[in-house]
Structure 1
Amino acid sequence: MKNRYIFTILSVLLCYVSIACQSQSDYIYSVRGGADQVLHENEPSRAEKEKRWKEGFAYVTKVIDGDTFWVDNGTESFKVRFIGIDAPETRNSRWKKKGYYASESKKFVQTQTEHQWVRLEFDIQSMDKYKRRLAYIYLEDGTFLNASLVEQGYAVVDTYPPNVKYVEQFIDLQKQARETKQGLWGELPE
């Protein structure tokens, strides 16, 4: 009798834990690197992400700054660094200081990409020493985001061989942005 009672209690407890874990897994998933993220309210399913990845698109889950974000392709989440440009840092690090126009740059990228689909175009070198994927970013409407960031003064040209496919275009856009005082090329606040 006592064993049956213990077995019943353990069975009920196991069912409760199983249901709780299942419902929580609908909202939380583990990102490579160990961090947990809460899914966005209208985030596509894993199957949808895998399908769109095969079509060349990834889903942006979090923007780090004006030239780096996280994407999810349905099977893995990974950090992407924009090729050919450098946006101001949003915080101090060991190597760089927080930069002028950093929050504006990050906000622009957030409004264009966060919780949306982007197409990633890779060049010769696909990963940097920090294990970030290197890519040219295109919005669903075809906008070339790397170029747009330089053109509007949210980033500067910063190209490293062998990934130099669009370097001339970026240099021309930066020259125009400087001449017209766009973004970070504008007047400094007093």
Structure 2
Amino acid sequence: MIVRLIGVKEKKEANGRAIEFLQLKTKGQKIFLKYDETKHDEKNHLMVYLYLKNKTFLNAHLIKKGLAEVDMSYHFKNKDRFLNYLNEK
């Protein structure tokens, strides 16, 4: 099964660092998936918000750290929150 992070769009120049960040943060950790209004994308990938046990919101951290862009191609409940992270830089 392929999982896609809600609101996160690949940033080509940071792709390797984004993958490394996710691997480092999730290795050996319990993770939790939360869903939005749309549970699957057009390719039937599961759309999720990814959290660690300590409630670290990984979708948001990827955007805050500049490792991903906000996906503007569809509506999701945290879109404004994610866009605000870009304005904080």
TM-score by length of 2: 0.89
The one-letter code of the counterpart of 1:150 is I
SS in 2 for 1:103: helix
List runs of 5+ in structure 2 lacking aligned partners.
none
Q: CA RMSD in A?
A: 1.3
Alignment deviations for residues 135-182 of structure 1 (CA, whole Å, 9 cap, x no partner): 111111101111111111111111412xx2111110010122xx3xxx
- Percent identity over the alignment is 31
Is the CA contact 2:14–2:68 (under 8 Å) kept in the aligned structure 1? no
Corresponding position of 2:77:
165
2:86 is aligned with 1:174? yes
SS in 1 for 2:13: coil
Alignment deviations for residues 51-94 of structure 1 (CA, whole Å, 9 cap, x no partner): xxxxxxxxxxxxxxxxxxxxxxxxxxx22100011123xxxxxx
TM-score by length of 1: 0.44
- Aligned equivalents of 1:114, 1:130: Cα separation in 2: 27
Residue 116 of structure 1 deviates from its aligned partner by 2.9
List runs of 5+ in structure 1 lacking aligned partners.
1-77, 89-98, 180-190
Corresponding position of 1:82:
5
Corresponding position of 1:58:
none
SS in 2 for 1:141: coil
Is the CA contact 2:33–2:48 (under 8 Å) kept in the aligned structure 1? yes
Taking the TM superposition and a 5 Å limit, the aligned residue runs for 1:24-103 are 78-88=1-11, 99-103=12-16
Taking the TM superposition and a 5 Å limit, the aligned residue runs for 1:132-171 are 132-159=45-72, 160-161=74-75, 164-171=76-83
Structure with higher Rg: it is: 1
Aligned residues: 88
- Aligned equivalents of 1:123, 1:107: Cα separation in 2: 25
Residue 115 of structure 1 deviates from its aligned partner by 4.4
